[in-house]
Amino acid sequence: MREITGHGSGSTVGIVSSLQRVDLVTSPPGEYIPVIDLTGPRHEVARAIDAACRESGFLVVTGHGVDADLIQRMHDVTLALFLQPAEWKQQWQPPADAAGLRGMHLVPSYVSAGEDIPTAPDLCELFTMCRLGEPEAARRAEQAGVPPAWRTPNIWPDRPAGLRETWLAYYAAMEVLASELLHLFALGLGLPEDHFDRFVDEHITNLTANYYPPVAAEPLPDQFRKGPHSDWGSLTILYQDGVGGLEVFDRRSGGWAEVPALPGTFVVNIGDLMARWTNDRWQSTKHRVRIPPPERRGLQRVSIPFFHHPNWDAVIECLPSCLGPDDEPRYGPVTAGDYLLQRVEATYR
C-alpha cells in the first residue's frame, strides 16, 4: 500500500455484464486507491490527489483532523438507531412526496437503477438528513429558489439519546473537511485555492448512514449489499467500519479493487458533477458493496457517506484548466439542482 506523507503546514481540518458479474478483485488494497496524508506539503498533497482522481477517482485520507471521539460517537449512535425494533423504525420514514431524502428508508432499494444496471434489491437500510432540512438553511434555500420538497424538515427519531446533536456535530466536521478537500482539489487542477468556494457556500449536501444487516438467507443472483453505482455530486467523504466489502471498478483490468478499511481514515471519491466539471480529467468510478463470503455473512456493517453537492443554482461547466487547445467540452452547462433532480428521479421513483 503506497502512502503519500509529509510534514508541511497544511490544514488538518455493452459494460453492464462486467460491472455485475466479474467478481475477481484484481488489485491489492492500496495499489489502485492510494492513502494520502492531508498534513503533507499542500502542493505535494494536491498533486497526489490529482493523480488519484485521474486514475481511480478514489483515495483514502489520513491527517484529516476530525476528532476521533466524535467519529466513534457517530458510529455508536447510528448503530443504536438501526438496532431499534423494525416496527418502531417504520414511523420515521418520509412521506411519499418528500423529494429531499429524509429519515429512515427501509424498503429495499435499487441504487443501480439510475445506472441502467439491473440488480436484485440492495440488502441495506439507510437514514439520511440534509442541511436544507434545518430551519436557518431552509430559510436561505427558500430565498434562493430551492423547491419546497427539497426544504422539507429533517426527520429526527426520538431515540437513541443524542442522535440529532451528534449528527449535526458530525455534519459540521464534514463541512470543514470538504472545504479543505475542495481547496486541495483546486490546487491539483491548477486553480486558485478558493476557486470552488462560491459554488458551495450554500451546498445541498445529504449525510446518510447505510446499515447492512447480517445476511441470513442465501442472496439472489446479482444481489449486493449496495449495487454498482457512481455518486452524483462534487465529492463523497465516507466513514466505514472495519468490516469491509466496498469495492471499486478497476478500469485497467475490468475487475474490482477492494477499498482498504483502515482505522482512523476516510474514503474520499469524486462524483459525477466533479467529473463533468473537469471534462473527465478526473474519473467518477462505479463502486459497490459486495455480499460477504458465507463465513462472514453474520457480520453487520455501517458506513456513513457525506454526499457533498454544490449550491442548488451553481452552474457546473468545464473548468478552463481542464480544456486543452484542441479540446471541446464534453458536457453542456447544468445547474447542480437540476442534475440532482434528474438523478433522484432515475433512482428512487
Q: How confident is the model at residue 8 (pLDDT cuts 50, 70, 90)?
A: very low
Q: How far apart are CA 34 and CA 303, in angstroms?
A: 20
Q: What residues are paired with 307 via a beta bridge?
A: 206, 236
What pTM was estimated for this model as a whole?
0.91
Res. 307: pLDDT tops 60: yes
Burial of residue 21 (number of CB atoms within 10 Å: 0-12, 13-18, 19+): exposed
Sequence-distant (≥ 6) Cβ neighbours of residue 173 within 8 angstroms: 66, 67, 70
Q: Strand order in 226-229's β-sheet?
A: 25-27, 255-258, 246-250, 287-289, 226-229
First vs last C-alpha separation in the chain:
41
Residue 239 CA to residue 242 CA, distance in Å, equals 10
pLDDT at 239 over 60: yes
pLDDT (0 to 100) of residue 118: 85
36-53 pLDDT per residue, tens: 999 999 999 999 999 999
**Does residue 206 contact residue 93 with C-beta atoms inside 8 Å?**
no
Query: What residues contact 219, with CB distance under 8 A and at least 6 apart?
Result: 120, 123, 291
Residue 33 has pLDDT above 70, yes or no: yes
Q: What is the CATH number of the domain that holds 17?
A: 2.60.120.330
Distance between CA 209 and CA 129 in Å, rounded? Answer: 9
CA separation for the pair 130, 196 (Å, rounded): 20
Which of 22-26, 183-187, 268-272 is predicted least confidently?
A: 22-26
Checking if the pLDDT of 119 tops 50, the result is yes
Bridge partners (DSSP) of residue 316 are 334
- Bridge-based pairing state of the strands 226-229 and 287-289: antiparallel
Rounded average pLDDT over 283-307: 95
Number of domains in the chain: 1
Helix (H, G, I), strand (E, B) or coil at 235: strand
247-276, pLDDT tens digit by residue?
999 998 999 999 989 999 999 999 999 999
Domain that holds residue 331: 3-348
Residue 187 CA to its chain's centroid (Å): 21
